[in-house]
Structure 1
Amino acid sequence: MASQTTGIQQLLAAEKKAAEKVSEARKRKAKRLKQAKEEAQSEIEAYRAQRETQYKRYEDSVLGSRGDTEAKVDESTKRRIKEIGDGVNRNKKQSLDMLLKAVFDIEPVLHENLRL
């Protein structure tokens, strides 16, 4: 009987050791997976940064920088506003004369239904 209990205890101890080894193996596997994910993420970030830099260079070469575009738009807007202001100043007197003439130079005319 004593040999059976010793055998059972040895089996239980062996089972416990096996469970610990499996647990350790699972932990190592999880650790390796986590490390692989981190490495992959860092590679992705590096690649993304590289591609973003290439895109910015391409965008600047093809489209020009945003500062240049904004400066061109500002310059064009200022030039157009100046042209409009010059046109107003140039035609102000004529416009006022036409308006005053329309208001003050009224020729009374009978309506066609009232004419005899």
Structure 2
Amino acid sequence: MASQSQGIQQLLQAEKRAAEKVSEARKRKTRRLRQAKEEAQGEIEQYRGEREREFAQKQRTVLGSQGGLSSEVEQQTQQKIHLMTKSYRSNRERVLRHLLSLTCQINPQIHCNYHHRA
């Protein structure tokens, strides 16, 4: 009976050691998963940073060319405004004289539908 009791005690101790090893393995697995998650998060952030830098570079390239177009359109607009102002100044007097001459020339005439009945 004593040997049976001793065998049972050994089995219980073996089960306890096995449970401890399983528990320790689970803890190691949890720690390793947490560490892998942190490493993956770091890699994701690094990749995101690289992609954002590439995007910003492409955006600067595209917007830079649009900025060039914008300045070119602005320059053309200023040139057209200058030409229109110059044309206005050079033709202003002539147009005013023409309008005044048309306004001041009065040629009284009887309207063709007017019938004088006497």
Q: Following TM superposition, by how much is the alpha carbon of 1:88 offset from its aligned partner in structure 2, in angstroms? A: 2.6
Instruction: Summarize the Cα distance change of 1:3–1:115 in structure 2 as closer, same or farther, 3 Å threshold.
Output: farther
What is the total number of aligned residue pairs between the two structures? 110
In our comparison, the structure showing a higher alpha carbon Rg is 2
Q: CA RMSD in A?
A: 3.1
- State the distance in 1 between where 2:71 and 2:112 align: 65
Structure 1 stretches (4+) deviating beyond 6 angstroms? Answer: none
Check if 1:20 corresponds to 2:27.
yes
- State the distance in 2 between where 1:25 and 1:115 align: 118
* Structure 1 unaligned blocks of 5 or more: none
Q: RCO (CA 8 Å, sep 6+): is it higher in 1 or 2?
A: 1
Name the residue aligned to 1:84.
88
* Structure 2 unaligned blocks of 5 or more: 1-7
Name the residue aligned to 2:4.
none
For normalisation by structure 1, the TM-score amounts to: 0.68
> Could you give the per-residue CA deviations for residues 78-114 of structure 1, whole angstroms, max 9, x where no partner exists?
221221243232210111221333xx433122517x5
- State the distance in 1 between where 2:112 and 2:36 align: 106
- State the distance in 1 between where 2:76 and 2:112 align: 59
Percent identity of paired positions between Structure 1 and Structure 2: 10
> Could you give the per-residue CA deviations for residues 32-84 of structure 1, whole angstroms, max 9, x where no partner exists?
21121122123223433444455567x38xx9564454233213212212212
For normalisation by structure 2, the TM-score amounts to: 0.67
Name the residue aligned to 2:109.
107
